[in-house]
Amino acid sequence: MKQNTVATLAAMKARGERISQLTCYDYTTARLMDDAGVNMILVGDSLGMTMQGYADTLPVTVEEMIIYGRSVARGCRNTFVVLDMPFMSYQISPQQALETAGRMMKEAQVDAVKLEGGRTVADQIRAITDAGIPVVGHVGMTPQSYHAFGGFKVQGKEEDSARRVLEDALAVQEAGAFAVVLECVPPKLAALISRTLDIITIGIGAGEGCDGQVLVYQDMLGMTGDRVPKFVKRFAEAGQLMQEAFRAYDSQVKSGAFPAAEHAYGKSDCADEILARLEEEQAGSNWKLCSVM
């Protein structure tokens, strides 16, 4: 059993311990996060932007989510892995949601699924949790609906919208989810929701009062340039480091400085007599290594 499960994460909230979560989309990075002790990974449909270069998350498919999710799951011995359900893979009906969630769990071998929305998807959450699949909800600014919001905007500043966000979070809990992401929600509202709910709240752009925090890993590693949301803290300048390494590689390949003798299989190199024979054979025949005609 993993060190991080639905039960251990709930116990962390009960003890007042904060929960760490990052997005991740590949095996190598998942192993690094797992070794670092990160509690949860979200294989978010943000991969549409970070890995696939789309302007938003809407084009991402279930098949793509499964491929990325499976790669991450293989890298995690202890980190709890949540896989995002992409746009239009659950909105149509509880039946569709259950079929998609079941397929994602079976084929990607993750620990839970996440879907966006509150009261409007409560029946979907209920159908999935009734089948024994752990669900994470996602309320506040939900990127799959950003056309409806008119952009990526903070949700819950006015009384009406604050009440909507709270009621959505309560509906997600009532429907059986074990956690909920609060995205771009004013900090005091997010803190109130976190105090009110029994289930875990994970904040992104929602202040310090949530039970846990999630960030997109390319943002927190400084790989996405200067145009990052205000709530992102850069924990490293990995983008700059990578670019320096790529430049050094490019210039050393071109100058001949790489590879040096220590990068070649010198000890098991071909004996000089063998090379001499090959050269002689080449010179004395019209036999060509690559010729198949």
Catalytic residue among 63, 158, 167, 183: 183
Minimum gap (Å) between residue 17 Cβ and ligand KIV = 20
Confirm if 198 and 5 have CB atoms less than 8 A apart: no
Minimum gap (Å) between residue 57 Cβ and ligand KIV = 6
User: Residue 22 pairs with which residues in a beta bridge?
Assistant: 41, 215
Q: Which residue has the tokens 């400085």?
A: 257
CA dist 214 and 198 (Å) reads: 19
Sign of the Cα pseudo-torsion (182, 185, 186, 189, in order): negative
Minimum gap (Å) between residue 204 Cβ and ligand KIV = 5
Closest to ligand KIV by CB, 40 vs 253, is 40
279 is catalytic: no
Classify residue 148 by burial, with Cβ atoms within 10 Å: 0-12, 13-18, 19+: exposed
Nearest to 252 by CA among 264, 240, 260, 243: 260
Nearest to 81 by CA among 144, 5, 164, 151: 5
Q: Where are the alpha helices (DSSP H) in 117-265?
A: 122-130, 146-149, 159-174, 187-196, 217-220, 238-255
Closest to ligand KIV by CB, 152 vs 246, is 152
Closest to ligand KIV by CB, 52 vs 251, is 52
Closest to ligand KIV by CB, 51 vs 238, is 51
Gyration radius (Cα) of the chain, Å: 25
State the residue number with the nearest CB to ligand KIV.
44
Closest to ligand KIV by CB, 173 vs 218, is 218
Closest to ligand KIV by CB, 9 vs 15, is 9
Element (H, E) at 181: strand 179-183
Minimum gap (Å) between residue 134 Cβ and ligand KIV = 16
Minimum gap (Å) between residue 162 Cβ and ligand KIV = 20
- Cα angle 151, 156, 157 (rounded to 5 degrees) comes to 95
Residues within the interface to ligand KIV (CB under 6 A): 23, 42, 44-46, 84, 138, 181, 183, 204, 214, 216
Minimum gap (Å) between residue 42 Cβ and ligand KIV = 6
* Per-residue tokens: 22: 């990052």
Confirm if 53 and 68 have CB atoms less than 8 A apart: no
User: Residue 56 pairs with which residues in a beta bridge?
Assistant: none
CA dist 3 and 40 (Å) reads: 11
Residues that are catalytic: 183
